[in-house]
């Protein structure tokens, strides 16, 4: 079976279980602090042994409205006892959506060896792997990040220039309902960026209609990634090909960095950038061109 472009970007639950206490490895559970299902409460109830908790809301989040700056991020890594030589393994709940954001952020700030647990927190739990409730503490380091790698990131101006450019593909990783403008995600406007292709996630709700989880088309039911061939077919059938420049976006960076991870780390696409401010910015800006529906019907 063909292997992924960057096979070392993933680690299995078996591998991590065998390396739990390796001194050069730091495990990070990425949580969403204000969310009961996968916030501090969930982490405190039991996490992978040795794992520190990083709060997505403090690294991006709605309140912040932008990604964490370089100095703050250096302090976060230093508190976790991480050096530039540390192997960092990230994981989270909800199909690793928060963890792929952290993976992208670490690459943006130049950390060389960051890996994603193949299969999210739920897979570790389902396999009855060891857990602990102790909050770990490590000797503080003095981490120095590299200059941001701007080739991994897009802003609103980049996206505006991409509209109508046949050499660029915009990938909208939200649900079909959000893409078509049928579901409000708390922004002033609904719909999608003109010309964007929908790599549709499925929004799962509970019996009361409240959000429960995201289901993404790139993973199997157990949370592990689909095969290289399956992923190639998925993206190529949508017209998302290696000869194009790709810009990924979603609501606020989780679904889209998951797509970015698959495209860059697993499929080896050479030119993929993440629009991290995504629809939270685009859908609230008064001058953003927006389309609704699944066809080319421009509402502006």
Positions annotated as catalytic residues are 250
Q: State which H helix or E strand residue 52 sits in.
A: strand 52-55
Q: Which residues contact 24 (CB under 8 A, 6 or more apart)?
A: 85, 86, 87
Nearest to 173 by CA among 71, 241, 248: 248
Using an 8 Å Cβ cutoff, are 19 and 25 in contact? yes
Tokens coding 234: 């998925």
Strands 272-275 and 211-215: unpaired
CA distances from 148 to 115, 238, 264, 268, 278 (A): 19, 31, 17, 21, 19
212, 215, 221, 223 alpha-carbon torsion, rounded to 10°: -90
Tokens coding 177: 């309902």
Using an 8 Å Cβ cutoff, are 232 and 5 in contact? no
Using an 8 Å Cβ cutoff, are 231 and 10 in contact? no
């Amino acid at each position: 079976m063909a292997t992924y472009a960057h096979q070392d970007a993933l680690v299995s639950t078996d591998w991590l279980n065998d390396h739990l206490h390796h001194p050069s490895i730091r495990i990070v559970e990425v949580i969403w602090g204000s969310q009961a299902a996968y916030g501090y409460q969930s982490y405190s109830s039991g996490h992978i042994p040795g794992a520190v908790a990083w709060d997505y809301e403090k690294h991006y989040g709605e309140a912040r409205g932008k990604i964490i700056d370089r100095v703050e991020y250096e302090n976060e890594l230093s508190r976790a006892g991480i050096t530039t030589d540390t192997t960092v393994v990230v994981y989270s709940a909800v199909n690793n959506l928060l963890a792929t954001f952290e993976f992208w952020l670490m690459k943006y700030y130049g950390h060389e060896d960051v890996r994603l647990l193949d299969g999210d927190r739920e897979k570790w739990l389902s396999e009855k792997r060891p857990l602990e409730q102790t909050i770990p503490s490590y000797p503080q380091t003095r981490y120095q990040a590299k200059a941001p790698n701007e080739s991994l990131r897009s802003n609103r101006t980049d996206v505006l220039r991409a509209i109508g450019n046949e050499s660029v593909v915009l990938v909208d990783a939200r649900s079909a309902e959000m893409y078509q403008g049928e579901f409000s995600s708390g922004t002033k406007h609904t719909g999608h960026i003109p010309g964007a292709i929908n790599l549709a996630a499925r929004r799962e709700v509970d019996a009361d209609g409240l959000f429960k989880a995201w289901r993404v088309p790139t993973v199997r039911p157990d949370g592990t990634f689909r095969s290289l061939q399956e992923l190639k077919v998925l993206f190529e059938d949508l017209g998302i090909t290696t000869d194009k420049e790709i810009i990924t976006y979603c609501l606020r960076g989780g679904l889209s960095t998951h797509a970015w991870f698959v495209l860059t780390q697993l499929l080896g696409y050479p030119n993929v950038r993440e629009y991290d401010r995504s629809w939270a910015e685009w859908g609230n800006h008064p001058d953003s061109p927006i389309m609704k529906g699944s066809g080319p019907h421009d509402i502006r």
